[in-house]
Amino acid sequence: MAAVTRAAAARGGAASGGGDDDDERIELPANAARWEAVVVEWLRSRCPDWVLEWVVLVRPRRFAILLAFLAGCVAASRVGLGPVFLLVGLIASIFLNLGQRRAGEVSAYSIFNRGVQRLPGQLDADEIDRQMRQGQMG
């Protein structure tokens, strides 16, 4: 994942690692807020390009969550609960990112679907048995 620069986009490639040319400046998304543009301009002269790319790529809410998690890791480590905090945080992130299925959407795991509905084209033991009995194998 890398932010595409104006010059790299014109060449059809990703940003190259060398040079501080003005035509290879990292651009913010079109819908970026004004304060984000101010932060990027402030960081341009103070940070290496890879840091600036991550600032552009990672949205502010996720960045704040990451900083809070890292601060929690440091605090838990000082108390002696670092591994516990890390495991609980990882498990919580898994459950918080599960999402919801939309209406009419089926799960890849048929046991979670109403009536144990299978996906179209899903191969199972019943299908293999039916093909073998009808001579359609091979």
> What pLDDT, in 10s, does the model give residues 19-61?
555 556 777 777 777 887 888 888 888 888 888 887 777 777 8
What are the Cα distances from residue 53, in Å, to 2, 22, 56, 57?
Answer: 6, 15, 5, 6
> What pLDDT, in 10s, does the model give residues 123-137?
788 888 888 888 766
124: three-class secondary structure by DSSP: coil
> What pLDDT, in 10s, does the model give residues 105-118?
777 777 677 777 77
User: In angstroms, how far is the first alpha carbon of the chain from the final one?
Assistant: 43
- Residues written for the chain: 138
DSSP letter at 81? Answer: -
> What pLDDT, in 10s, does the model give residues 2-26?
344 444 444 444 444 455 555 567 7
User: Residue ranges per domain, the chain?
Assistant: 6-57, 61-96
